[in-house]
Structure 1
Amino acid sequence: MAKVTFKGNPVTLIGEEVKVGDTAPNFTVLSNDLKEVTLDDYEGKVKLIAAVPSIDTGVCAEETRRFNEEAEKLENVQVLTISMDLPFAQARWCAAEGIKNLDTLSDHREGSFGKNYGVLMEELRLLARAIFVVDSSNKVTYVEYVPEVSTHPNYEAALEAARNAK
């Protein structure tokens, strides 16, 4: 299992660690308009999935803004940012920040994504910071479990993986 800390303290991740070469696990989350969304809704596209603890915090906000900017330049790639935030809070934050090029999704109801991707922090019931790139046939091509949740992921490596996925 990935070793992850939150502000220097070790956390327990619930679920199995996802690895490159795995078939991407399905999940059920909520869109900002409260509709159920699954991995199948993005069939035929490359998915860059960013798991974040809360969209309305410094590093998560910067990460989401960065991926929103980059999403415009990526062909056949859908960027998803998933957190435990309520859909209403995500919608409000996206409207205030002008986020239009990616989907923010809420895992608050069941923790389905968090459990299936091994990023649900047991102690906090928040998602650990992680990046997954899933190709159009739902094979995982890139994984980064960020060792310290309060730090940034490797943007360049994730974006390169998304550009190279088919």
Structure 2
Amino acid sequence: MEVLLKGNPVELVGTPPKVGEKAPTFSLKDLSDHVISLDELKGKPVIISIVPDIDTSVCALQTKHFNKEAATIADIHFLTISNNTKEQLANWCAAESVDMTMLRDEEGIVGKEYGILIPEIGRLARSIFVLDKDGVITYEEIVPEVSTEPNYVKALEAAKALI
């Protein structure tokens, strides 16, 4: 699959999972070094918000948007995944008062499993995946131009419809 990075085409590694498929499972560390497994989150819908680099404006906007929603909707698990380091994520969250679940994919595990790794820059493509309570993908968006925001409304509508 190909996306644009500031107008330039880049190829993603792997094949992204599709709506109706079981989401590839993963286990990643949060900011407290707890391992969060996707399998542990079954029972409630999950929004997986994937950002390339937390220290960029669009990634910041995306994460703050979902952090705000996470504070008001207890019936949905909200995750942000980035391949930034623990220190980068922790410093950014502290500066921006963000307290949602932040997971780090420094090895690109999710990037490869979800077909969203951009090898040229070693970053994840901006993406949203919504899973039902059984871990089946009900909505996915791999943003065609990495430097633009995802469709928050559609992602949230898809997740809220599962409550």
The TM-score normalised by the length of structure 2 is 0.95
Q: Which amino acid aligns with 1:113?
A: V
Unmatched tracts of structure 1, length 5 or more: none
Aligned ranges 1:151-162 → 2 under 5 Å: 151-162=148-159
CA distance in structure 2 between the aligned counterparts of 1:43 and 1:98, rounded to whole angstroms: 27
1:46 Cα shift?
Answer: 1.0
Aligned ranges 1:107-126 → 2 under 5 Å: 107-108=105-106, 110-126=107-123
Question: In angstroms, what is the RMSD of aligned CA positions?
Answer: 1.2
Deviates more, 1:29-38 or 1:77-86: 29-38
Structure 1 match to 2:80: 81
Instruction: Report % sequence identity.
Output: 47
1:18 Cα shift?
Answer: 1.4
Deviations, residues 49-107 of structure 1 (Å, cap 9, x unaligned) = 0111011110000111111111122241011110110012111111111112x211100
CA distance in structure 1 between the aligned counterparts of 2:90 and 2:40, rounded to whole angstroms: 19
Aligned ranges 1:1-166 → 2 under 5 Å: 1=1, 3-100=2-99, 102-108=100-106, 110-166=107-163
Deviations, residues 88-140 of structure 1 (Å, cap 9, x unaligned) = 2111111111112x2111000x2111111111111111000000001110010
Structure 1 ranges of 4+ moved more than 4 A: none
The TM-score normalised by the length of structure 1 is 0.93
CA distance in structure 2 between the aligned counterparts of 1:112 and 1:29, rounded to whole angstroms: 9
Structure 1 contact 141–165 (Cα < 8 Å) conserved:
no
CA distance in structure 1 between the aligned counterparts of 2:125 and 2:35, rounded to whole angstroms: 22
Per the alignment, in what secondary structure is the counterpart of residue 4 of structure 1?
strand
CA distance in structure 1 between the aligned counterparts of 2:19 and 2:71, rounded to whole angstroms: 25
Deviates more, 1:37-46 or 1:144-153: 37-46
**Paired positions, count:** 163
Structure 1 contact 51–83 (Cα < 8 Å) conserved:
yes
Unmatched tracts of structure 2, length 5 or more: none
1:36 Cα shift?
Answer: 2.6
